[in-house]
Amino acid sequence: MPEVDQPHDELGAHETEPMIEPGHTFASVTDKISSLVLKRKTPLGWFIGFGISFMLFQLFMLAVTKLVFTGVGIFGTNQPVGWAMPIINFVWWIGIGHAGTLISAILLLLRQEWRTSINRFAEAMTLFAVACAGMYPVFHLGRPWLAYWLFPYPNTMGIWPQFRSPLMWDVFAVSTYAIVSALFWFIGLIPDFATLRDRAKSRAWQVVYGLLAMGWRGSARHWARYETAYLLLAGLATPLVLSVHTIVSFDFAVAQVPGWHATIFPPYFVAGAIYAGFAMVLTLTIPLRKFYGLEDFITDRHLRNMAKVMLATGLIVAYGYMMEAFFGWYSANQYERFMIWNRMTGPYWPYYWVLILCNIISPQLIWIKKVRHSTIALFIISLVVGVGMWLERFVIVVTSLHRDFLPSSWGMYTPSVWDWSMFIGTIGLFLTLLFLFIRFLPVISIFEMRTILPQAEVEEEAA
Amino acid sequence: METKPPLYGLMAEFESPTDLVEAARQTYDEGYRRINGYSPFPIEELSEAIGFHRNSLPLIVLIGGIIGGIAGYMMMYYIEVIDYPLNVGGRPFHSSPAFMPITFETTVLCAALAAVFGMLALNKLPQPYHPVFNAERFALATRDRFFLVIEARDPKFDHDKTLEFMKSLNPKEVIDVEV
């Protein structure tokens, strides 16, 4: 393929690079992807990566143990900043998860076939990110062993949850999201489990994958219903993913705190979530395709498309920041005006300006063709955006709370060592789960890769 | 004399989706109805070729969604208005706008559960045993081969004649599949 990057040539037809390198057959695609799982020898790099992740995960276990024995006082959370690292990290993780659903559901409905080679991986990322996100509200409860009180169940105390609160909406949104993402992921895996069952050499794995495949045999009737179910799930997951981050933003927007009480929050949070999520997908797929030699399937075109989505959502986020500042000024409300001024020039000013640098300035480099074509540059930008999105939540949460209405109750917030331990620990949990996933399940959807091969087309005879 | 195990049907193997769809169409036109195609990925034309048109899954999902939505709203109404009315900032007990997010979530949840379990139930999965797995080469149906099966219980089935017919479809090979 020539060096073409314009989406349209003069005829208006698509002139893009392939989604899959030419020369692959059904057999070669199947063998290549399934061999990552079935190949007996686990690469040394996997053990090293898994080992480091698992150690970080132990940090999480340590922090949680300390927390359960001592109480939430070990966190830096205080008055007036009563909502700090746990909510920041919760929103950060759940946002990262959103790109997975976007790739698997929304791009499926939009018939963006390039999604095929990254959707399985992105969905796994969603699940694990949601698992990490869920840790924060649960362990921030103070008495996490009573977390089930959040759900409405008939109980001897005769009390019920309060459904006018966005925090209850959150419980339903996040748990629905976790369940639907898991179902979507599992349904997508069934035909691939069948492939692994038929290709596994050892009896034990044949049984394990056989149980998971549930007797899938690729019958035409099954495929027809399967496709319907998959499409309907995508159709359901699409509004769901938008609703989840909207509801997360309601946690803030429904409150009266200056800087939170804004109608821009839902769309701006959703865009931010997709932005952070695509950054994370890039951060993870770039090393993955390198170490496992998957360049045939995850081509440069995929990286570039993801970078473009990142740029687009980054611009929406930039609009959100501008509107926040505009609302602060235009509201003519002294608290709102002070909040935005304090955010930019108050004690947390470096956070704000580094956030602008990471989230607004750095992705603009993607406009440059050379940057867009450089894997290393995309990797660095995606890391920077990941940091920027974390800072965004920090700025929203902390700068709004630390100086609100009454100057007599102003304060400062510094995360404690346990805040950091738990945050780094969830990164360990996330990576541990990802490494296990890469080792035991096909990272690329095998059956969907078969469908995008040219020979999968049924040729109609010109009768 | 040894008795042969009962026959499930005849299975023909093809190398490309086009061959399989073509063969399936001819088989259907020939009058066979108890037929099925097996492929490593979904082929829209194939399910049409074997005469599979009615798919009740969308209806099941719709019903699931409606039940989920109504149940979610009713739950909140019962809790907030009937069983445990709580004055929160002077808002009405029946605060319908505040009930919408959870109503939406329960709708999606029940519809998604209906889609997944409905699909599995209609497909009769999990199903650990099926005669087609007896064919040794059928393991390739999850890799790169395409199979067409005419079941022995098809009224038009006659071992020799059907075998003859299937061979005329230009398959790679045709084999007997035992129950």
Residue type, B31: G
CATH topology of domain A26-456: Formate dehydrogenase/DMSO reductase fold (1.20.1630)
Check whether A15 has a pLDDT greater than 80.
Answer: no
The reply to whether A82 touches chain B by the CB within 8 Å rule is no
Mean pLDDT computed over every residue of chain A? 90
pLDDT band for position A126 (cuts 50, 70, 90): very high
Q: Under an 8 A CB cutoff, do B143 and A30 touch? A: yes
B107 in a structural domain? yes
User: Which token pair is A380?
Assistant: 């660095």
Give the pLDDT confidence score for residue B3 in this predicted structure: 64
Q: Which of residues 151-170 of A touch B (CB under 8 A)?
A: 152, 158-166, 168-169
Number of domains in chain B: 2
Domain boundary residue among B122, B148, B167?
A: B122
Both B140 and B88 in a single domain?
Answer: no
Cβ atoms of A15 and A8 closer than 8 Å: yes
Cβ atoms of A26 and A17 closer than 8 Å: no
* Interface mutation target, options B52, B60, B74, B116, chain A, most CBs of A under 10 Å: B116
Both B49 and B61 in a single domain?
Answer: no
A409-423 tens-digit pLDDT: 999 999 999 999 999
Cβ atoms of A77 and A249 closer than 8 Å: no
Both B117 and B137 in a single domain?
Answer: no
Burial class (CB within 10 angstroms; exposed 0-12, middle 13-18, buried 19+) of B37: buried
Both B80 and B118 in a single domain?
Answer: yes
Which residues lie across from B147 on neighbouring strands? Answer: B13, B38
Check whether A155 has a pLDDT greater than 80.
Answer: yes
Check whether B179 has a pLDDT greater than 90.
Answer: no
Q: Where are the alpha helices (DSSP H) in B42-175?
A: 44-49, 57-77, 96-122, 159-167
For chains A and B, what is the number of CB pairs under 8 angstroms? 204
Q: What does the buried/exposed string (b/e) look like for A170-188 if buried means 16 or more CB atoms within 10 Å of the residue's CB?
A: bbbbbbbbbbbbbbbbebb
* Domain boundaries, position B35: 7-54+132-178
Both B50 and B61 in a single domain?
Answer: no
Alpha carbon distance A318, B123 (integer Å): 48
DSSP 8-state symbol, A20 = S
Nearest to B47 among A158, A199, A224 (CB): A224
A342-356 tens-digit pLDDT: 999 999 999 999 999
B7-19 tens-digit pLDDT: 899 999 999 999 9
Mean pLDDT for A108-125 is: 88
Check whether A10 has a pLDDT greater than 90.
Answer: no
Name the phi and psi angles at B149, rounded to 5. Answer: -120, 135
Which residues from chain B sit within 8 angstroms of residue A169, using beta carbons? 101-102, 105
B49 in a structural domain? yes
User: Which token pair is A333?
Assistant: 């409300």
Between vectors from CA A71 to CA A68 and to CA A73, what angle results, nearest 5°? 145
Between vectors from CA B22 to CA B167 and to CA B31, what angle results, nearest 5°? 70
Q: Under an 8 A CB cutoff, do B112 and A236 touch? A: yes
pTM, to two decimals = 0.91
B127 in a structural domain? no
A277-329 tens-digit pLDDT: 999 999 999 999 898 888 888 888 899 999 999 999 999 999 999 999 999 99
Check whether A13 has a pLDDT greater than 70.
Answer: no
Residue that wins the pLDDT comparison between A158 and B107: B107
The reply to whether B133 touches chain A by the CB within 8 Å rule is yes
Check whether A206 has a pLDDT greater than 80.
Answer: yes
Give the pLDDT confidence score for residue B41 in this predicted structure: 92
Mean pLDDT for A389-414 is: 93
Check whether A2 has a pLDDT greater than 50.
Answer: no
Give the pLDDT confidence score for residue A292 in this predicted structure: 86
B2 in a structural domain? no
Alpha carbon distance A189, A438 (integer Å): 13
Give the pLDDT confidence score for residue A112 in this predicted structure: 85
Domain boundary residue among B122, B143, B161?
A: B122
User: Which token pair is A282?
Assistant: 């890039």
Q: Which of residues 61-80 of B touch A (CB under 8 A)?
A: 61, 65, 75-76, 79-80
A135-145 tens-digit pLDDT: 999 999 889 99
B1 in a structural domain? no
- How high is the ipTM of this complex? 0.93
Q: What does the buried/exposed string (b/e) look like for A244-273 if buried means 16 or more CB atoms within 10 Å of the residue's CB?
A: bbbbbbbbbbbeebbbbbbebbbbbbbbbb
Name the phi and psi angles at B151, rounded to 5. Answer: -80, 150
CA atoms within 13 A on the CB side of A248: 33
Both B73 and B50 in a single domain?
Answer: no
A50-72 tens-digit pLDDT: 999 999 999 999 999 999 999 99
Percent of chain A with pLDDT over 90: 71
Give the pLDDT confidence score for residue B4 in this predicted structure: 66
B107-162 tens-digit pLDDT: 999 999 999 999 999 999 899 899 999 888 898 899 889 999 999 888 888 888 89
Chain A residue with the nearest C-alpha to that of B140: A198
Between vectors from CA A87 to CA A349 and to CA B111, what angle results, nearest 5°? 135
Alpha carbon distance A439, A39 (integer Å): 10
Domain boundary residue among B122, B148, B164?
A: B122
